[in-house]
Chain A
Amino acid sequence: MKAFFLALLKSRAGLFGFLLVSVFVLAAILAPYLGLPVPTRSNLLARMAAPTWTGLFSPGAHPLGTDELGRDILSRIVHGSRITLAIAAAAVILGGIVGTLLGIVAGYYRGMVDRVLMRIVDIQLALPLMLLALLVVAALGPSTRNLVIVLALTSWLRYARIIRGQVLALREREFILSAHAIGAGTWRIMLKHLLPNVMTPALVIATLELARIIIMDAALSFLGLGVQPPNPSWGRMLADGRVYISTAWWIVTFPGIAILLTVLSVNLLGDWLRDHFDPKLRTTR
């Protein structure tokens, strides 16, 4: 752990990403205690107020302006990060667990199981992710739970493919062969011996997937298929603000910058993790 942080301190890009991610996560967790205006309370007297930086700490200040209903944009972005990050994290965890387990099963059993699973991966690869997501959300109905399912569905195969490759190599190693020899069961070998050995690549993929999923979540919300109003979500804010683009540029600009910074920092952290733990993964993406 100490060595890990020492290495992180040496990499400027990785450290920058790590710090920025920490700030965003802290802001999301502490959002209700930051003294921000209520994100869903509209104030028709302060509709589309431009960003002002004078009297920043006085009540009623809107450093990033207000939207078409007079809601404070800074507060909506910070509160929106709770929903956006929670959905993205849930989707990454769900997709990661399913993908990793299927990858282990395919790599360990090989043969028919492996072939069928890899064919399914091929089929899904031929189907554009966005169309798959649109279809499934349209079929299941837009809700937070369905959004998580759809995002996980677009994600599992990236784990499955890479983990399968790792397991194919691992299963010939001595420690697995000796586990076999002393009579360990299939499940024991997969969960106790293979799983710990693929945790690192799985974590690296998860970080890089988190960035992709945040953008995809915003795109789905932008198309009206994500989190439903009045809850603030970044994609939704973009979609709503787009209508007022010629009169109030700030409504659509700041949520986009929030997405950009979040994805950038997660990407920086993910790139660093990949290079730190396993530079070989680079070619597989």
Chain B
Amino acid sequence: MTRYLVGKLAESLLAIWGVVTIVFFVSRVLGDPAVLLLPVGAGQQDLDALRASLGLDRPILEQYLISVLAMVRGDFGISFQHQRPAMDVVLERMPVTATLAGTALLFGTLIGAVAGAIAALKRGTISEFIVMVAALLGQATPVFWLGIMLILVFSVDLGWFPTGGSGTIAHLVLPGLTLSVFVSASIARLLRSSLLDIMREDYVRTARAKGLLPRTVFFWHIARNALIPVITMIGIIAGELLGGSVVIETVFAWPGVGRIIMQAIQAQDFPVIQAGVALVAAIFIVVNLLVDLLYGVLDPRIRRR
């Protein structure tokens, strides 16, 4: 188990290093931030001075080595725009993004799990049909358009919720609902097909044949095994949502991590891009590591490997 964990951790660090490297070189193609930062008409001398003070005049490989070594120490540099440590700029937005991600995951998973279980257990009934049609529609709907439609109905027409911004529960309802629809649609479909697969297994027939209560068979023999792919899916979705859904944050003017990274890309604020992407990648990897550990809890066979 320890060896497995150490191996996983090494893989994770390698992946974060890879992400940071890709982002470093891609973002250097964006342009010269010195031109953006100085007022129009600034002289060549000012430009050179600013580049020197930001370290942008050094060879690109030297800049890369310097920033990677600094990142290892947890130093992501000073944001060009905000004149504060870049990681602080990103981390400040984390609670807002986490609130939205948590809400969407909680409600999306609950609704998706109940709907998926109903669809599998009531095979061939009208309930299954309704759940599957709703899930198919939910998966085919572009989330940002759904967000706009909800604003149209609940903010513009009915005036129940604000059109954008954050701070109160009322602000959270529409973006939370939008993302929940997306989450629950994916989970309902996956749980249904996963349950149907497991119900066909021989050990389920054995469990029934030896006279176990249907409830016991469902929770101990079926659900426990059917949850493994669902948890993988929840892990992937959680990683994505915690990285900030750029489009949803744009639609609802939600001041989260996704928006700050997008603004940094537009402003060529390299340190914030680096810090943001490194953080998002690290979160994604940690969430997936936790998911790996959860497998062991659900399925003891995996623990022994």
Residues of A within 8 A of B (CB): 119-120, 122-123, 125-128, 130-131, 134-136, 138-140, 211, 215, 218-219, 222-223, 238, 242, 245-246, 249, 252-253, 255-256, 259-261, 263-264, 267-268, 282-283
Contacts and interface: CB of A to CB of B under 8 A. Distances in A.
Interface stretch (B47-55, B113-121, B276-284): B276-284
Contacts of B280: 127-128, 131
Contacts of A139: 26-27, 29-30
7 contacts: A119-B18, A126-B18, A127-B277, A128-B243, A245-B156, A253-B149, A267-B140
A96 B242 CA distance: 29
Closest 5 interchain pairs by CB?
A: A123-B18, A256-B145, A264-B140, A139-B29, A263-B140
Interface string B10-27: 010011101100110011
B139 A135 contact: no
A260 B149 contact: no
A255 B152 CA distance: 15
A139 B193 CA distance: 41
A259 B145 contact: yes
A9 B58 CA distance: 65
Given A134-B246, A259-B145, A123 B193 contact: no
Contact of B23 (A125, A135, A253, A256): A135
A93 B276 CA distance: 32
B194 to A, nearest CB: 8
A44 B172 CA distance: 39
B94 interface: no
Interface string B119-148: 000000000000000001101111011001
A126 to B, nearest CB: 4
Contacts of A268: 136
Interface stretch (B71-79, B261-269, B296-304): B261-269
Q: Is the interface of B mostly helix, strand, loop or mixed?
A: helix
B240 A134 contact: no
A123 B261 CA distance: 19
Interface in B149-200: 149, 151-152, 156, 193, 197
A242 B136 CA distance: 25
A245 B142 contact: no
Contacts of B284: 125-126, 128
B15 A126 contact: yes
B35 to A, nearest CB: 15
Given A139-B27, A238-B148, A245-B156, A218 B142 contact: yes
A127 B18 CA distance: 10
B250 interface: yes
Contacts of B258: 130-131
A115 to B, nearest CB: 11
Interface hub of A127, A136, A259, A283 (most chain B Cβ within 10 A): A127
Nearest to A275: B193
A128 B27 CA distance: 15
A127 B281 contact: yes
Contacts of B16: 126
B100 interface: no
Nearest to B139: A267
Given A127-B277, A136-B26, 8 more contacts: A122-B15, A126-B15, A135-B265, A135-B273, A138-B30, A211-B140, A222-B250, A260-B140
B238 interface: no
Given A122-B15, A131-B280, A268-B136, A283 B266 contact: no
Nearest to B27: A135
B233 to A, nearest CB: 9
Contact of A245 (B19, B148, B229, B250): B148
A264 B149 contact: no
Contacts of A259: 142, 145
B192 to A, nearest CB: 11
B68 interface: no
B111 to A, nearest CB: 20
Contact of A223 (B19, B23, B246): B246
Interface string B191-223: 001000100000000000000000000000000
Contacts of A256: 141-142, 145, 148-149
B87 interface: no
Interface in B71-119: none
Nearest to B236: A125
B272 interface: no
Nearest to A285: B190
A131 B243 contact: yes
A173 B22 CA distance: 38
B247 interface: yes
Contacts of A282: 193
Interface string B21-50: 011001101100000000000000000000
Contact of B142 (A122, A219, A267): A219
B124 to A, nearest CB: 14
A177 to B, nearest CB: 30
Contacts of B149: 253, 256
B285 interface: yes
Residue of B26, B246, B250 contacting most chain A CB atoms (<10 Å): B246
